[in-house]
Homo-oligomer: A and B are copies of this chain.
């Protein structure tokens, strides 16, 4: 009983007419997986500048054995899509995501161009629903990784992690573009920061994601004008300079992005 009103039309659809009540076995050599691109901000090992990092998992079986892949797994029957992504994220980082959002469903037959050494002959068709998540900077320190899990700077993946398994190069590239686009019109950057934070930290998050410097004074004005943060009244102490005010993100204002982007 999938959503199959197709048989209701007069148009020809001979093959599908046989399908509709298919809990039958022969019908589906087709699998559904959920993967997640987990972004976190850490200093770059070379330059020291804050950049995006993400965890990859080394495949220990065919196909693409030995290559790095996005963390993920098959969808359990009794599990929601987000739950599956959240579980994956927890397994890979030990953390609960602050921001978790569906990215795209990848399912073309021709995807995952297999290298020569792997046998894809008997490989079933796989449709992947990909999510992306943002890890809070303060929690990130507490992240744990299992064996065969490693974090890489997002922009160095091509060199350091070689070509990824399946079509995960494409997926990752898409996730990066989406993050960079979305940060310009939605207050998701807050998701990288702890409960309270100075505006300079928020600016550094934006700079890390966009890869360019922002004018501190203009940044302050714009952020305050859009009302996505509110003054806590407190100040950060122990700095080597004037103590900055601490802000928290304003849930009333930031709801907009979610309302537009997420259904239900």
Contacts and interface: CB of A to CB of B under 8 A. Distances in A.
Given A8-B58, A263-B171, A78 B109 contact: yes
A204 to B, nearest CB: 25
A249 interface: no
A92 interface: yes
B77 A105 contact: no
Contact of A13 (B16, B20, B91, B174): B91
Contacts of A20: 61, 74
Contacts of A19: 73-74
Contacts of A236: none
Interface string A136-165: 000000000011110000000000000001
Contact of A22 (B74, B80, B88): B74
Interface in A1-35: 1-13, 15-16, 19-20, 22-23, 25, 27-33, 35
Interface centre among A1, A81, A104 (most CB of B within 10 A): A1
A90 B13 CA distance: 11
Interface string A60-94: 11110000011111111111111000001011101
Interface of A: 1-13, 15-16, 19-20, 22-23, 25, 27-33, 35, 57-63, 69-82, 88, 90-92, 94, 102, 104-110, 123-129, 146-149, 165-168, 170-171, 173-174, 177, 181, 260, 263-264
